[in-house]
Chains A and B, each alone.
Chain A
Amino acid sequence: MFAEYSSSELLSIFAMQGVAGLILFSVFVLMALGLAIIFGQMGVINMAHGEFMILGAYVTYLTSNLFSTYLPDFFSIYFILAMILAFIAAAALGALVEWAMIRHLYHRPLDTLLATWGLSLILQQTYRTIFGPREVGVTLPDWLMGSYQLTETIELPINGLFVMCLALGISLAVALLMYRSRWGTQVRAVVQNRAMAGAVGINTGKVDRVTFALGCGIAGVAGSAFTMIGSTGPTSGQLYIVDTFLVVVFGGASSLLGTIASAFSISQAQSTMEFFMSGSMSKVLTLLFVVLILMLRPQGLFTLKVRR
């Protein structure tokens, strides 16, 4: 099958395919980070995570429309503002949901799953009512368009590179926050032993709310980044929720490093196989592979060793 290509062309194909995998990886990481915080650290199954992501995407869409109508001079920088707004909107909704729903259900994780699924249905229909059933896309500012010509045959799309940098930055920020800040210590303390953490004076309710809001906020940023790559519809979030959960579980729920490693392996496997077979089969094989590994090693790739 490779006979008709010259060796330099082959190299370019693999390089471009690898970059495509890296972009998919970045999107996975962005989506999974929020979930890794909410599910991995708090043990809450948030089935509406995809919808928080889509909220971020719609906020970006609105901001882009606003700028192109009223502030065309500043259009080139709207994306930064859009991401901040997306973070704030998703985090605010997350805090509200935590206050109204999740905090009553911490001791019933399976029920959280059903309740947040209901929430995701409501949010989907809300988006459909407000934005219409059709998918929307945003106009990218000029500096994000086009591609960077590495050699004569290898082109790197700039928006993809931007998403990669974003994923890298946010992962670093989350890692710092979790492992190097006072707040991160509190979160981990609450996760390990809620009663004890409360006894030493940590306001566990507040830590929970902030953690949940942060996870949702990151989902919002992920959605914002997602608009650069694809268009957004009311049900786009649901398409990714299973993949994202698998990424988190596969990585070992309580390990951030594991989440990143599993996002990398899943996305690379999928995009590499896509070159050899149909997209649906490569997805089936990847998911099947992940499920099989999880059956053999239920704790995931990386585990946190704790004594219980």
Chain B
Amino acid sequence: MSLLLKSRAGIASLLPKKDLYGFLVLALILVVVLPLSLDIFRLNLVGKYLTYAFVAVGLVLCWGYGGILSLGQGVFFGLGGYIMAMFLKLEASDPESTKIQSTPGIPDFMDWNQITELPFFWQPFYSFTFTLIALIIVPTIIAYIVGVAMFKRRVGGVYFAIITQAIAAILTILIIGQQGYTGGVNGMTDLRTLHGWDIRTDSAKYVFYFVCVFMLFVCLFIAQFIRKSKLGRLLVAMRDKEDRVRFSGYDVSNFKIFVFCIGAIFAAIGGAMFTLQVGFMSPTLVGIVPSIEMVIFCAVGGRLSIVGAVYGALLVNFAKTSFSESFPELWLFAMGGLFIAVVMAFPNGLAGVYATYAAPKVDAFFTKLFSKTVAKNSSSMPLPSKPTSTKTESVSLPQGVIHEQ
């Protein structure tokens, strides 16, 4: 099999047919179907949901493949969002438009908290280049520190989850407590322009939607690359039997740190896109509750499917919006039930359900459509295309998704 893969062109090995179809269908939905069928308000909402998909894709790598469950992805989402918001806020609070404040030229919430000078760590955010660099670097550094501290000491599983959760709690309390520097519980609101370009207009929202979709596909391709590379294999091996990988001479912790950092970067990009599309950033997106919800997006989509994670994020958020619009009391019941159902009944999420029930039929359909020479008899189906191979991967949860502590 590996020989066969090597002999093919690189792109084919990176994107086997069934993954390629998955990507194409997703691209079709996100780039063509949704923009044509939804008005800009709804499309903007979809864009907002897609920002969570970044986090979910990162979690597929960390949790589904690496076996590291981080309950603190909200931290990185928040960092990305706040970094972008700081730049936009500084641009929105030029001396001209803040001249009614007692100190013009600083963000309004600082003025309300009797701060008369821009704090030093806000200064560099006048530069857009710095902002973009910080967007990637800051979450990476934090993820690296946490990762080194935890994984080098072979802390994993449950303990890692609890500690990342505590970090999410710390960051939320810090942001709310230091409202002079962070905008407090309201967050950073009233963001207006990006380099003089108004981000609140409909055309800007369209642009941001497509930028978001583009970035998402960049992340998806990176994730796919990691999945298909040797690193991806090692991650799975580590998840299933960490000790054996270690005894084979690999430094397990470095791989874990790497994939955790990648997850953090994805989340940060998602956060930045969130700020751009929604126009504010607040601590309610950082804390424990949103962080766990992000895990459920990933679990609903299927913790082993990177495309599934996008669908998971979209569907859960659609459900959340429509439920909480019409039956606000029922929403928490539905969400709680979803958590339990996904864990107890569908541990592989939508991707697993698809692979079990829909995929054989879809397969048969395409087989009929494209190659009439192929017999319909499924047992002798020679197509390399489809999920008979997925099946082994997803019907029952692989042993290591289950890590014992």
Contact = CB atoms under 8 A, between A and B. Distances in A.
A304 to B, nearest CB: 14
B402 interface: yes
Contact of A121 (B174, B177, B332): B332
B343 interface: yes
Given A43-B405, A129-B329, A295-B149, A111 B343 contact: yes
A112 B170 CA distance: 24
B332 A281 contact: no
Nearest to B67: A110
Contacts, number: 128
A255 to B, nearest CB: 15
Contacts of B174: 280, 284
Interface in A238-290: 238, 242, 245-246, 249, 278, 280-281, 283-284, 287-288, 290
Given A43-B405, A118-B338, A280-B176, A290 B166 contact: yes
A296 B150 CA distance: 8
9 contacts: A107-B402, A113-B161, A114-B295, A120-B336, A121-B339, A124-B332, A125-B333, A287-B173, A291-B163
Given A242-B165, A249-B162, A118 B336 contact: yes
Contact of A298 (B146, B153, B169, B342): B153
Contact of B150 (A108, A120, A295): A295
A298 to B, nearest CB: 4
A298 B159 CA distance: 8
Interface in A88-140: 101, 104-105, 107-115, 117-125, 128-129
B306 to A, nearest CB: 19
B340 A118 contact: yes
Interface of A is mostly: helix
Interface string B169-211: 1100110110000000000000000000000000000000000
Contacts of A45: 158, 161-162
Interface string B152-168: 01110111011101110
Given A128-B329, A278-B177, A43 B158 contact: yes
Interface of B: 63, 69, 71, 146, 149-150, 153-155, 157-159, 161-163, 165-167, 169-170, 173-174, 176-177, 288-289, 292, 295-296, 299, 329, 332-333, 335-340, 342-344, 347, 397, 401-405
Given A246-B166, A288-B170, A298-B155, 13 more contacts: A45-B162, A101-B340, A105-B343, A107-B404, A108-B343, A114-B295, A118-B335, A118-B340, A119-B339, A121-B335, A122-B336, A238-B288, A296-B149
A129 B146 CA distance: 40
Contacts of B405: 43, 109
Nearest to B347: A111
B339 A115 contact: yes
Nearest to B403: A110
B309 to A, nearest CB: 15
Contacts of A245: 162, 165-166
A144 interface: no
A287 B164 CA distance: 12
Contacts of A109: 157-158, 403-405
Contacts of B169: 242, 287
A109 B405 CA distance: 7
Contacts of A13: none
Contacts of A290: 166
A45 B289 CA distance: 16
B302 to A, nearest CB: 14
Contacts of B150: 295, 298
Contacts of B335: 118, 121
Nearest to B174: A284
A294 interface: yes
A280 B177 CA distance: 6
A240 B191 CA distance: 34
